[in-house]
Amino acid sequence: MKTIGLIGGMSWESSKVYYEYLNRMVNERLGGSHSAKILMSSVDFAEIEKLSFAGDWDAIGAIMAEHAKKLETAGAEMVMLGTNTIHLVSDFITQAIDLPFVHIATTTGEAIQKKGLKRVGLLGTKFTMEKDFYTKILEIDFGLEIVVPSEEERQLLQDIIYNELVKGIFAEASKDKCLGIIKKLKQSGAEGIVLGCTELPLLIPGNEVDLPTFDTTKIHSQKSVDLALA
Per the CB < 8 A criterion, the answer to whether 19 and 39 are in contact is no
Active-site pick, 125, 178, 197, 198: 197
Which residues pair with residue 120 across a beta bridge?
146, 192
Q: Assess whether 178 carries a catalytic annotation.
A: no
Give me the DSSP letters along 97-148. -SS-EE-HHHHHHHHHHHHT--EEEEES-HHHHHSHHHHHIIIIIT--EEE-
Residue 78: helix, strand or coil by DSSP?
strand
Active-site pick, 83, 106, 135, 217: 83
Q: What angle do CA 197, 224, 94 make, to 5 degrees?
A: 80
Q: Assess whether 83 carries a catalytic annotation.
A: yes
Residue 192: helix, strand or coil by DSSP?
strand
Residue 22's alpha-carbon distances to 19, 76, 80, 131, 137, in angstroms, are 5, 15, 11, 29, 24
**Sheet of strand 145-147, all strands in order from the earlier edge strand to the far edge:** 145-147, 119-123, 192-195, 213-215
Burial letters for 203-217: b for 16+ Cβ neighbours within 10 Å, e otherwise? bbeeeebebbbbbbb
Give catalytic residues, as residue numbers. Answer: 83, 197
